[in-house]
Amino acid sequence: MKHAMTGWGIGMMAAGWVGLAGVAQGAEAPDPAKLVAAAPGHPRLLWRAGGEADVAAKLAADPVLRATAEAVKLCADRMLEEPPVVYRKEGRRLLGRSREALSRTLHLSFQARMTGDRRYIERAVREMQAAAAMPDWNPSHFLDTAEMTLALAVGYDWLHPHLDPAVRATVRTAIETKGLGPYLMKGSRHGWEKGGNNWNQVCHAGMLAGALALLEDDPARAAAVVSRAVAGLPSAMGVYVPDGNYPEGPGYWGYGTTFNVIAIALLESALGADFGLSGSAGFLKTGDFMLHATGPTRLPYNFSDCGSGMGSSSALHWFAARAKRPDWLWFEMPLLDREVAQVKASGGRAPDRTLPLTLIWAAAGARPAAPSSTAWFGHGQNPLACFRTSWTNDRAAWLAAKAGTPSASHGHMDVGSFVYEADGVRWAIDLGMQGYHAMESRGLDIWNGRQGSDRWRIFRYHNRAHNTLTVDGMEQTVGGKAPMTVDGPVASVDLASLYAGQLSGARRTFELRPEGRALIADAVRGGATNRTVRWTLVTPGVLKADGASAGWLESKDRRLRIEVEGPAGIRLASEPARGPNEFDEPNPGVSLVHFDVAVPAGAEVAWRVILTPGGVQVP
């Protein structure tokens, strides 16, 4: 993708600064004087001066965006009556307050720029003053600092022409001392700077916003922040290689990727170039991940620390417009319609702090096109295979299977797990995340990923609570890495390293047949001692057995046939999906349907499970 380059950008290209290789090899930061010369005046962050006319034209031409703008106004109007953010931490986090401040400055400042109404300006100023008066922005949990810095940087920049000199000074000082100060403090070290997860993306975006908002006041500081961000972001963006798969799951895709887009948009709007970041391998393909990892029910495959719900994504509109892929909006547009309706029904409760960015990034008249492929394979740290029978039938069958490793950021012991939908029901589910604060407040060390640590005591994180295999109740091996191969409609996962010391071999294959049946086949080889392997299905369905190894799962008025083919003695059973510890969250209405298989030492044992939707006629 080509972008217009300023004179400074061309000079940087000649100096080897455009393109990430030079930066990663330690190229010098940009000349501060050229940085200032390249940047336009305020507003310049994300939405340059004069951009209001472009948005107004979109709204005039597009009823969907016009309805979205009405929702943004409702949110801003409600915020006029709400008290400003207060300094209140939840455990070790101030993050909720930072996000509240960001939502308000974005909505109020957007509405101020579109209407010129002083009410929005004055309310945004009160929000920024309240944040500025806080004792700190909690730099010990730097996500909090980053989002608060972004909040004040956007308000300072977007409303700059309307701010009194005293207000400018107050906000500027807060950004300098509470945002950029902890980041740039001599001797400070930040593990996220070149980390491979969402922290890198969020924190660099916040620091870029603060530095570029105050560019004129300290060009050298801005040059240093730009240099560090452009050198650090590729470490996080490397996880998208080669096809856009995101190892932390759809929930953290929404967080990390949105802020990665914000970082790129900040550079482009303020400096006219993103230094090759958007050209990072796999990044502009990542819309495929979110598209295929969403089932016909419009719910995501919520692996890792992911919630079960799905909201609209401003970033997906950026990707769809940039890559010219309207199919990536297939689920996004209905989700946006739903959120707009929810805003109206709630009287203006903001569903997403970045909703105003949708109006800036979306292409006018963009409408979802039916995707062309019903199958997708994502490589990377947590390989993912997704198959479906139709895009246009809400009751289509969909099977998504995961390989990879529990050692990935926010990982669970879910390697070899899967989710499955048919007839409008998600029959095989992932329980998803458990709230961090509740666990941390009990003294659980949930961020210690070592074998046998507190993290793996949590029911939802252990393999026994996922649609995979458990050997004699033991954990999967944290350091194990399961590769995946896909051949046509069949995905195969080599699970051997996940059961090191438990089994000497394990392989699982997944297939979705055209009529909607799902086949999950396992072949294991015993190790040095006899073992018992448990096969588990986490499901909202109620098991009605009609034989030892067959039966029906029933959910409301829908049915799913489950049949097991394998060694004699297999018996299907069901129990509530309830963890053994008092700190495990309940899972009402969810069952573990399972069976056990004896695997003698050194023996090879195989079985397969067939899941057939109740309405399917099979010859």
Q: Where are the domains of the chain?
A: 7-361, 383-613
pLDDT on residue 36: 85
Q: What are phi and psi of 479, to 5 degrees?
A: -80, 0
pLDDT on residue 309: 87
Burial of 189 (C-beta count, 10 Å sphere; 0-12/13-18/19+): exposed
DSSP-H helix ranges across 347-377:
355-361
Residue type for 562, please? I
Q: Does the structure show a pLDDT above 70 at 214?
A: yes
Short-list 174, 240, 542, CA closest to 182: 174
The answer to whether the CB of 471 falls within 8 A of the CB of 533 is yes
CB burial readout 40-65, b (16+ within 10 A) else e = eebbbbbbbeeebeebeebbeebebb
Q: Does the structure show a pLDDT above 70 at 10?
A: no
Would strands 542-547 and 531-539 be described as parallel, antiparallel, or unpaired?
A: unpaired
Q: How far apart are CA 80 and CA 84, in angstroms?
A: 9
pLDDT on residue 92: 95
The answer to whether the CB of 539 falls within 8 A of the CB of 597 is no
Residue type for 565, please? E
The answer to whether the CB of 405 falls within 8 A of the CB of 519 is no
pLDDT on residue 114: 98
Mean pLDDT of 211-231: 96
**In this prediction, what percent of the chain has a pLDDT beyond 90?**
91
Q: Does the structure show a pLDDT above 70 at 324?
A: yes
Q: Does the structure show a pLDDT above 60 at 619?
A: no
DSSP-H helix ranges across 81-141:
95-115, 118-132
- Contacts of residue 53, defined as CB under 8 A and 6 or more positions apart, other chains included, come to none
**Measuring CA to CA, how many Å separate 103 from each of 83, 106, 120, 267?**
14, 5, 13, 21
pLDDT on residue 616: 61
The answer to whether the CB of 523 falls within 8 A of the CB of 532 is no
**Measuring CA to CA, how many Å separate 511 from each of 302, 369, 525?**
20, 26, 22
Run of H or E including 261: helix 258-271
Mean pLDDT of 19-39: 61
Mean pLDDT of 245-270: 97
Run of H or E including 21: helix 20-24
Residue pointed to by tokens 């916040």:
206
pLDDT on residue 282: 97
Q: Does the structure show a pLDDT above 70 at 15?
A: no
Q: Does the structure show a pLDDT above 90 at 581?
A: yes
- Contacts of residue 280, defined as CB under 8 A and 6 or more positions apart, other chains included, come to 20, 234, 237, 238, 240, 241
Task: Indicate the pTM of the whole model.
Answer: 0.94
31 pLDDT tier (thresholds 50, 70, 90): confident
- Mean pLDDT value across the chain: 93
**Measuring CA to CA, how many Å separate 226 from each of 45, 210, 390?**
14, 11, 45
The DSSP call for residue 129 is H
Mean pLDDT of 14-28: 35
The answer to whether the CB of 255 falls within 8 A of the CB of 314 is no
> 94-103, 175-184, 610-619 — which is least confidently predicted?
610-619
pLDDT on residue 3: 33
Q: What are phi and psi of 48, to 5 degrees?
A: -70, 165
Q: Does the structure show a pLDDT above 50 at 284?
A: yes
pLDDT on residue 445: 96
Q: What's the pLDDT tens digit per position in 456-487?
A: 999 999 999 999 999 999 999 999 999 999 99
Q: Does the structure show a pLDDT above 50 at 13?
A: no
617 pLDDT tier (thresholds 50, 70, 90): low
Q: What's the pLDDT tens digit per position in 375-433?
A: 999 999 999 999 999 999 999 999 999 999 999 999 999 999 999 999 999 999 999 99
The answer to whether the CB of 12 falls within 8 A of the CB of 271 is no
Is the peptide bond preceding residue 182 cis, with omega within 30 degrees of 0? no
pLDDT on residue 33: 85
Q: Give 540-543's long-range contacts (Cβ < 8 A, gap of 24+).
A: 540/425, 540/426, 540/427, 540/429, 540/589, 540/590, 540/591, 541/425, 541/427, 541/591, 541/593, 542/574, 542/591, 543/572, 543/573, 543/574, 543/591, 543/593
DSSP-H helix ranges across 162-257:
165-174, 181-184, 198-213, 219-237, 249-252
CATH-assigned architecture of domain 7-361? Alpha/alpha barrel (1.50)
pLDDT on residue 34: 84
pLDDT on residue 27: 43
615 pLDDT tier (thresholds 50, 70, 90): low
**In this prediction, what percent of the chain has a pLDDT beyond 70?**
95
Q: What's the pLDDT tens digit per position in 189-199?
A: 899 999 999 99
Going 439 to 443 to 444 to 449, the CA torsion angle's sign is positive
Q: What's the pLDDT tens digit per position in 34-58?
A: 888 889 999 999 999 999 999 999 9
Q: Looking at domain 383-613, which of 1.10.1740.10, 2.60.40.1120, 2.70.98.70, 3.40.50.300 is its CATH number?
A: 2.70.98.70
pLDDT on residue 19: 31
